[in-house]
Structure 1
């Protein structure tokens, strides 16, 4: 025995010794091995009448303790016990009778039951599959005598077994390399190979607490990482010990590749907590060849029969499938989750209607090959270059800029990959499908709030008509559009992330995409994530906490290179910059009036676009905007506020907290400017934060309509809205007022008042585009005459400046780098007639073209500067004027141009390391998100609506249970017993109990 922190060792030892004294067949001699120092336990052992008391170190395992005790044994049989075992009075008699009556039997084992619940079986025989997976034949089942006819088994639990002394000596005891797991199974296998039998005696019953030195921790064994490691290590050790000598090298070499494959399987099976134990067990098994050699030698010396004799006792695949995966659908009734009703409830019709509206309001997009205007830009022409822009290395903008890509570049690469033939066309499709996609996402998100089809449609319509979403569509803001489309799915998966790894994996991917598209949302989302962590820790006592923690891991891995680069540059504020093309589009100001508009839900100074519709030029008389907003958005806001007075007030408060986080972020963002374009600072776009706020307000309003907003007079009071007209009227008013408010924005493109444009397919002239597609290492200097008379310069590599090629690291830079100075010097020399020849520098830097962009209309200084620059470029030797294009005047370097120099040494290795880490994180999240049959079965028996109290039906216990994969921890009380003597009287059968199982536990965690 060993002292244990969970229960006093002396107390356990006292109970075990008392049970030995109560045996109807007395023990002939008792040997106690104390593994560790415990004064009380030593005193009890000294006064127990034991023939011998041995002391060993605390780290001594059960196998080693048995070996110590067996040196002094002289009886006919040995009974192996631990301090946490409590045999019933007739246990030894039944076991001894089994050995007496059957001379061929070498090992007999009792029925192990759970202490405190003796109707539940802990172990009654152990077997394996063909690949060595341990299978408990009755583990965890309620005892109703269904296995009392079982006799011959392949192996047993090591606790309480009675072994013939001669057999134990022949088999050389337990294998210490198993580390406490599968010791009884391995002993049974070797006993059968030696010609003996292994039997279980159902009449012999022994209670176990699960905290002793023998066997696995817990009753049933817990799913701790330690136990998982021990199980897997024992399985790998047995596999190498039992294998044919011809297969042994191949099995040894395949250990680590198998661990990699099982890592993927564990992620798909939603058990990531087993990955680290898997690799630990694999590494230990690879290096512990000496233990394998000793195990094989023990088997070789004792073996008398063929391995084929063991085949009938193994578990077949059909038995395993039937026992481990019962048909829950047929055995369970009253599941709380009903049909989704996407089609019958009108969800599909709402999506279809939104598609019709989208085609009606954006008809020209059906024939446009590419989308431009606002913050839109083309995508790369090939998928390979899309992903190249998303990696660490030379940036597609700047002279020799090296650094990490924005995480948004990966989002753009994923989008472009969906249309590999012409990636830029995916933006056109995104705009056409934006409204139906918004309805689809919001409808599914609403299923977490209500079962009512009408309210789900209300939420979907309200989300598609959000002012910030329609503004982003008409202004051409791709990142903001993506955020609005992704937020419902983040809510849908994130609210149940604590339940399952599948939801956690999906939510983590969406979380990473949202943060990549709107970094300014990161503080609010992390704050909400922290609140969720606290809530899970309190309400569920930490169950599912690891899954919720995983939500931010992929986002951290994707953002880490950019975060480190910005911090190294001393520009932490730059982390909030909007990704993509920097564009100073119309939005609210940071003054008091602008902030009031933000608080009311409008990201622009023209709420809903009504000023432009009425011909006011976008400006309103004082006081009018607030009046419009209050009139048209008041029903939604009032319903949201009333949600905290319903029976589901806690969920309503959570939704209002989301709204508060979004509104606070928008109010802060409008006053922050970190990006610079053409020398002018551009404030953050507050629309992404308003999308988050809109989600909270809309969700709270749906809760109010679903539950009823009468004051809660008492817990039993039910003053919900009538199920008919009142609720329908409230939903209709919300949808109607939002539709009226959104009318100008919906028709803006038809009226020619949107910023969307046809193309361009490239920001550079067609001549440069054709050259850049074949040679992406040829650069173009783009000169922009500015209104103040200055000239802006940018170096573009390849066929175009692209959406995925933008860099917030460059756009928010507060320091003038050497590359910036070089570009400034090149621009100054190019536009100055008296400057030295710079063409040779262009050729050396890999620049083959110079583009002089058109001057801004009405800017005299800009036009004058452009004329001067054009004159200087025409006079420059080595530059050949290609001509005027729609993008500006183009010159080509006549002599051969040296391709762009590769990145400095070490960049490639850094890029590969970053790419590997990011791929691993994303691949893990994807594998976790993949649904499986088991995960779908579990999901069907959990309520779809979050926060509503319900009863989850219990799952029937399986007929077979596989031990997940291991445990260490041994300790022993061993003693010789003489089987000669009068048999004990039979114990009375335990009272039969009905089959009632506890509530289904939460899905396995890490």
Structure 2
């Protein structure tokens, strides 16, 4: 039929309204339907078990004979199919107009749709432009497409207003069933809506099949309808399925793509969806959104677990699928658009702008496709925006500086040295260490393993079981990670992106960070990265906005537990500051939020904290070895005031002079005096605690070393307070610069002095490298000779010479794992072995060998340098036989029989508490996750609350 003749086609329109607990919208929908300038020929309604009076409203408006009552669990497609079964075909070309109960068409919507139908005889499906029900200027849809992972793409910017920019009739892949006009013969030919897709993506599947059948799917923008999207936004309860809407939507999206693609693209889409779902689940977990991660895994699993259902769907869609795929392919989202969407959202987050969650009308920033022609996104523009973002530039620069400065540590065979135990084993070994009730390491212990072992095990599992990779990311990458953390976390605290760049770069390059790398201080490195996030969440907790504050409190409590696990001093420092802040800002609900913050770490770390409380001095220690040579026992006061904690890897004191000068300049400013006072209060508090820590001697968990604690963590607290103070002066400096004259010179001088700190720190770090005991090729503490000769768990006594005497460590025939050094040894056996070791090196005879043999020690190893007196003393012992001796290493073996290690006693409550702990972590993560609640309840409004409680209606 020609186009001219088609204009004289007689159209009959049957409108089908499907309702389900939609009284709040249904009245307006029916009024809009009955008020069309081109009246419909027949109106039939189906009510799916409504309990709010929807069925009565339909009967009063349309008449009881025009309403079909269906069970409450009936899906939209099933309801439409039941109506059509009872309707005889009408004369002429019959069209079916599908309407949701929350979709109100404009008065001329039907006439505009039929006008478009007259213009194109191949049009099988037509859809209106959809706007938001509440804000009626806001665009929801002008046609929809998907990528090959099922990700929905409307081609709209987030919260884009309708200004006529998409006007016209355009070919699209799909239109919504809310206002969809479809020819009845086309409906019958393709089989209607798939009953399996009871809600969500049924419209996409139907339109895809219409496209494959050779018909056109068009969006007519002159036809307008307003849609509340009540089901997806959880404004009413969904009863067609027990699944969460996001999970159901994701499952159906994957199913539709796999069911409609030809065989070749199907295999690629299957691999892409499987790998993509795993990656997205991982990213959701890292972003503290376990509910969304679960949705991803369950969605792809429910599709792959029923291959028969997918095969049946593919057979039903076989006709025309391959023949018309080229036309469909042009309308799919271009490859790479998902990457560009992720990049844009990352850029928006780093820039401090709004971050849109994945919703119904979040789309890639692409322009509309005109009449089926694909208009690609501006890749070069997106790349330029990302690469020009200050946060991205900062992270890239810090990463480059780090790679050059740590050139001697990269590519080695074994990372270790200083406070870092040489990194061996994998995620499975760490989980075993954390979960076992009795530890055979050292002299054996029933004490709780430090909880940071579980954190490292989890991160190692994410990184394919590679513990060395997890430690490298946290320790060697702490400088760029701390810079990124400080830049992103201060976006709501510090105005100005470039001011935040200065703050973040100064913070990342502090002597605390570079010193932690040089000395192998993994605990300080982790806390150094987390502290800015702690500060940002704390400001939300104290803001008084109840919903946001409570969620931030759960998140801060979880991260505080992580920081406390690596460095216990974090908890008392934060507790004192939090208590003072709660008293200073007595807003409603703050007390409860603060209680949540400090209650979560106690609940998660309870048994270990009780163990820690028995030896309070260990609060000043951190994860790793406690070696006196890594701490400066006579650290001068000016070093602490200039934020230098001493030890290996420290730059000259004058490097941080510019930072201190900039922060002192803030005291001259008249604005933000309260913030300046708080910042300096935090700084002085941190310095005071650093002084006390540096003057307090602490014994290591193994009891083999006693030395002052390293004041790095308290100085990181002090530095963060100083930096916020210095950053808040940027606005005043900008005013001085604009004023000209001497003020301009003074402003430029302050800026130059302030930027000297990160520039000097980076330059010196790159020039000097990483001077310190840490090495990328650490030596194995257990010699190969001993490792090959030991059997049945035989232990090794390792002796080291130090300036203050000889220390000993007991190893269980292998390299120790990270965390084993932080497990306290039982005092009785430790004291006996200490006396025996002292007797051996003194050369006196006695029962030393018998004591060692009773504790399972078979080998005695003397680490470099091996002194002549020690070697003579050990050679003189009749119970020892020399195996090897050089300046670098000496090995002796006990000649008498060695008893087996003591049998583990075990703790019956240990395994039970691990299950409780895992459950607590999951609950806290869900409560802290922004995406863990349903959309309707996320704003604190019940699901069935009227729309007017959410935002005012603009009509």
TM-score, length-scaled by structure 1: 0.57
Distance 1:245 1:684, change over 3 A: same
Distance change (3 Å), C-alpha of 1:669 and 1:451: same
TM-aligned CA distance change 1:516 to 1:167, over 3 Å: same
Match of 1:83 among 93, 101, 116: 101
How far did residue 178 of structure 1 move? 1.8
After superposition, the C-alpha distances for 1:288-342 in whole angstroms (9 at most, x for unaligned) are 5575466456546xx4x45312421333678566875644885999999787999
Structure 2 counterparts to residues 713-732 of structure 1, below 5 A? 722-725=743-746, 728=749
1:15 is displaced (CA, Å) by: 0.8
Could you say what secondary structure the match of 2:26 adopts? helix
Contact kept in structure 1, 2:486 and 2:532, CA below 8 Å? no
Change (3 A) 1:895 1:281: same
Match of 1:60 in 2: 74
Alignment of 1:469-508 (within 5 A): 478=519
Matched, 1:207 2:221: no
Q: Is the 8 A contact 2:391 2:501 kept in 1?
A: no
| Residue correspondence of structure 1 range 458-537 to structure 2 within 5 A | 478=519, 518-524=567-573
In the alignment, structure 1 residue 808 sits paired with structure 2 residue 857: no
Give the alignment partner of residue 398 of structure 1, picking from 439, 442, 445: 442
Aligned to 1:938: none
**Contact 2:46 2:69 (8 Å CA) reproduced:** yes
Residue 847 (structure 1) aligns with: 858
Which structure has more RCO (C-alpha within 8 Å, separation ≥ 6)? Answer: 1
Bigger Rg, which one:
1
- Offset, 1:465: 8.9
Partner residue, 1:21: 34
- Structure 1 segment 786-935 matched on structure 2, within 5 A: 794-796=809-811, 807-810=821-824, 816=827, 820=830, 823=833, 842=853, 845=856, 847-849=858-860, 874=876, 876=878, 878-880=879-881, 891-894=892-895
Asked if the contact 1:461–1:735 (Cα under 8 Å) also holds between the matched residues in 2, the reply is no
Q: Is the 8 A contact 1:160 1:206 kept in 2?
A: yes
Shift of 1:695: 0.5
Contact 1:579 1:806 in 2 (8 A): no
Shift of 1:284: 2.1
Separation in structure 1 between the aligned mates of residue 174 and residue 316 of structure 2, nearest angstrom: 17
Normalization by structure 2: what TM-score? 0.59
Listed as ranges, the gaps of 5+ residues in structure 1 are 220-224, 359-364, 416-422, 500-506, 610-628, 740-753, 857-862, 925-970, 972-1006
Q: 2:726 aligns with which of 702, 717, 721?
A: 702
**Among 309, 322, 341, the residue aligned to 1:307:** 322
Q: Among 141, 153, 170, which residue is 1:123 paired with?
A: 141
Q: How far apart are the structure 1 equivalents of 2:213 and 2:426?
A: 65
SS, match of residue 724 in structure 1? helix
Query: In the TM superposition, what whole-angstrom CA distance separates every residue of 1:210-256 from its partner, at most 9, and x where no partner exists?
Result: 22x5x77799xxxxx95542332112222453366899999889975
CA deviation profile, 1:541-580 (whole Å, cap 9, x unmatched): 9xxx9xxx9x99xx999x98x9755657984845653444
Instruction: State the alpha-carbon separation in 1 of the partners of residues 206 and 489 from structure 2.
Output: 57
Deviations 1:258-284 (A, max 9, x none): 633554687899998753222121222
Distance 2:636 2:839 in 1: 45
Match of 2:85 in 1: 71
Which SS does the other structure have where 1:203 is aligned? strand
The one of 183, 194, 202 equivalent to 1:164 is 183
Structure 2 vs 1, CA of residues 665 and 34 (structure 1 numbering), >3 Å: closer, same or farther? farther
- Asked whether the 8 Å contact 2:419–2:520 carries over to 1, the reply is no
Shift of 1:36: 4.0
Query: Does the CA-based 8 Å contact 1:483-1:688 persist in structure 2?
Result: no
Find the residue that maps to 2:127 and give its secondary structure: strand
Does the CA contact (< 8 Å) of 1:399 and 1:823 recur in 2?
no
Q: Deviations over 1:566-602 (max 9, x none)?
A: 657984845653444435679999xxx9999999789
Q: What secondary structure, in the 3-state scheme, does the structure 2 residue paired with 1:807 have? A: helix
Task: Give SS of 2:196's match.
Answer: helix
Aligned residue runs from structure 1 range 286-325, under 5 A = 286-288=304-306, 292=310, 295-296=313-314, 298-299=316-317, 303=319, 305=320, 307-315=322-330, 319=334, 324=365
The question of 1:781 aligning with 2:800 is answered: no
Is residue 879–residue 891 contact of structure 1 (8 Å, CA) maintained in 2?
A: yes
Which residue, 117, 121, 129 being the options, matches 1:111?
129
Contact residue 36 and residue 106 of structure 2 kept, 8 A? yes
- Structure 2 residue 249 is the aligned partner of structure 1 residue 231: yes
Deviation at 1:173, TM superposition (A): 3.1
Structure 1 residues 658 and 68 mapped into 2: Cα distance closer, same or farther (>3 Å)? Answer: farther
Distance 1:218 1:698 in 2: 46
TM-superposition CA deviations, 1:395-451 (whole Å, max 9, x none): 796234587478599999x99xxxxxxx9xx99xx99x99x9999999999998798
Post-superposition shift, 1:348? 13
Answer yes or no: is the 8 Å Cα contact 1:577–1:675 preserved in 2: no
In structure 2, the partner of 1:979 is none
CA contact (8 A) 2:260 2:314 kept: yes
- Residue 930 of structure 1 corresponds to none
CA contact (8 A) 1:678 1:792 kept: no
> Structure 2: which 5+ runs fail to align?
1-17, 237-242, 338-363, 367-376, 461-467, 541-555, 761-770, 926-943, 945-955
Structure 2 residue 206 is the aligned partner of structure 1 residue 187: yes
1:389–1:411: structure 2 CA closer, same or farther, 3 Å change rule? closer
1:150 matched to 2:169? The reply is yes
> Aligned equivalents of 2:583 and 2:190: distance in 1?
54
Which whole-Å CA distance do the structure 2 matches of 1:846 and 1:565 have between them?
A: 28
Query: How far off its partner does 1:86 sit?
Result: 1.3
Query: C-alpha separation between the residues in 1 aligned to 2:133 and 2:610?
Result: 57
- 2:709 aligned to 685, 698, 705, which one? 685
Q: How far apart, in 2, do the equivalents of 1:640 and 1:889 lie?
A: 55
Question: Displacement, 1:45?
Answer: 1.9
| Residue pair 1:255, 1:282 contacting (<8 A) in 2 also | yes
Deviations 1:778-817 (A, max 9, x none): 643368999999x9864245699x896861222xx5x547
For the structure 1 residues 760 and 879, does the alpha-carbon distance in structure 2 shift closer, same or farther, using more than 3 Å as the test?
Answer: farther
Aligned twin of 2:683: 659
Moved more, 391-400 or 283-292: 391-400
Q: Is it true that 1:34 corresponds to 2:53 in the alignment? A: no
SS at match of 1:313: helix
Q: What is the DSSP-based 3-state SS (H/G/I as helix, E as strand, rest coil) of the residue aligned with 2:140? A: strand
Question: Where do 1:250-265 residues align within 5 Å?
Answer: 259-260=277-278, 263=281
**1:112 shift after superposition:** 2.5
Residue 543 of structure 2 corresponds to which residue in structure 1? none
Aligned with 2:62 (options 20, 40, 49): 49
Partner secondary structure for residue 126 of structure 2: strand
**TM-superposed deviation, 1:64:** 2.5
Q: Kindly indicate whether the alpha-carbon contact (under 8 Å) linking 2:143 and 2:173 is maintained by their aligned counterparts in 1.
A: yes
Alignment CA distance shift 1:579-1:296 (3 Å) = closer
Q: 1:563 to 1:70 in 2, by over 3 A?
A: same
C-alpha contact 2:211 2:328 (8 A) present in aligned 1 = no
Q: Distance in 2 between matches of 1:53 and 1:159?
A: 19
Match of 1:178 in 2: 197
Cα distance in 2, alignment partners of residues 17 and 35 from structure 1: 17
| Contact 2:640–2:715 (Cα < 8 Å) also in 1 | no
Shift of 1:80: 1.2
Distance, in Å, in 1 between the alignment partners of 2:227 and 2:497 is 50
TM-aligned CA distance change 1:720 to 1:46, over 3 Å: farther
Could you say what secondary structure the match of 1:179 adopts? coil
Q: Structure 2 matches for 1:517-666, cutoff 5 A?
A: 518-524=567-573, 567=610, 571=614, 573=616, 574=618, 577-583=621-627, 636=660, 639-640=663-664, 642-643=666-667, 645-647=669-671, 652=676, 655-656=679-680, 658-659=682-683, 662-663=686-687, 665-666=689-690
Q: CA deviation at 1:692?
A: 2.0
Count residues in correspondence.
Answer: 794
Deviation at 1:87, TM superposition (A): 1.3
Residues 126 and 153, structure 1, Cα contact 8 Å, conserved in 2 = yes
